[in-house]
Amino acid sequence: MGRSTAVIGTFIALWAGLVVQGQCHTPFFIFGDSLLDAGNNQYFNSGTPKSSLPYGETFFKRPSGRSCDGRIVADFLAEYANLPLIRPYLEPGFSNYSDGANFASAGAGILPETNPRMIHLKMQLSYFEEVQKKLKQQEGEQKAQELLSKAVYLFSMGGNDYMNVGMPKFGNTMPPVVLTASYKKQYVTIVLSNLTSVVKKVYAMGGRKFIFQTVGPLGCMPVSRYASGSTGCVHDVTVLAKMHNIALSKLLLKLEKTLPGFKYALFDYYSALAEITTYPSRFGFKEGRTACCGSGNFNGQFTCGKNGTAYNLCSDPSQYVWFDAAHPTESANKHLTSLFWSGPLKVVWPYNAKALFQMP
């Protein structure tokens, strides 16, 4: 009798664990640019794929479509949340969205005109709308809405929009402009207005839990130092990034007050990445300004992995903050994600990513 009771108790415990596990399942949807692209551009006709080694060499042992030697922030967040790596929406055969989907596209902007050839934010939203329809077909209306309301939505965009106007040598697709103080303010307002529109649409479709990265230290990237011919950080794009980040923080406070149930985490990606770029040795890195892979000063030219092109490649990417001219290494991404996931209020607020993923 005692043994039977023990067996029944074990089954009940296992069943309860499965129920709790099911309740905790939190889908993860990702909107962004090259910092978060897990391979969409490989399948997008106009995309420039990261299809050659040394991209992917550290973790995947093959090119994965990521602008990195290994994993990106979205990958580490998924791992922390006990999810599989979230697959790119355009990956052939991908149709089970119960864990989420990644819509990010390298080179994309919040504004469509920033890089019309890439998957800009409004197009990423249209992909998410297709996912919503397919989830309803697969799971039924009620289950689909439950998944969408439990899901966490990551947004990390804006860098390309500001590089496009702030760095004339950065493959500019827009006419050159005079960056007066009033123009900068107006431009930041337009960029954030477009971001807000998409966030509100995701909210209207059921989204309640949002996590955001601020725009990074654009002026301190190897490509910026190379293009400007300066050893220091470039002024105009640095100012634009800071203006965006201050305005984004205020915007999210406003959305929290006006949208019932809207919860968010804002990660100060700018400060966290600027700190390890400026003081690499404090965080276990050897080099903070020069990229592991590329050519020219600071390896700031985008030649890494290009066939028929000479480029430099470091022997150990884990010693570097930057992998190529504009993207951190896997080691840097791991450090940054640890702060995003469970860092203190000074780097991620009012919640951290862990709290959002664990929130009912």
The residues annotated as belonging to the active site are 34, 324, 327
Q: What does residue 127 show for φ and ψ, rounded to 5 degrees?
A: -65, -40
Rg (CA), the chain: 21
Q: Pairing state of beta strands 209-213 and 263-267?
A: parallel
Q: At what angle do helices 159-166 and 181-204 cross, to 10 degrees?
A: 160
β-strand pairing of 152-156 with 28-32: parallel
Hey, what's the torsion of the CAs at 241, 246, 250, 253, to 10 degrees? 90
Query: CA-CA distance, 211 to 68, in Å (whole number)?
Result: 22
Taking the C-alpha atoms of residue 153 and residue 27, their distance in angstroms, rounded to an integer, is 9
Token output for 238? 């640095």
What long-range pairs does 257-262 form, CB within 8 A, spacing at least 24?
Answer: 259/200, 259/203, 261/208, 262/203, 262/208, 262/210
| Pairing mode of beta strands 263-267, 348-350 | antiparallel
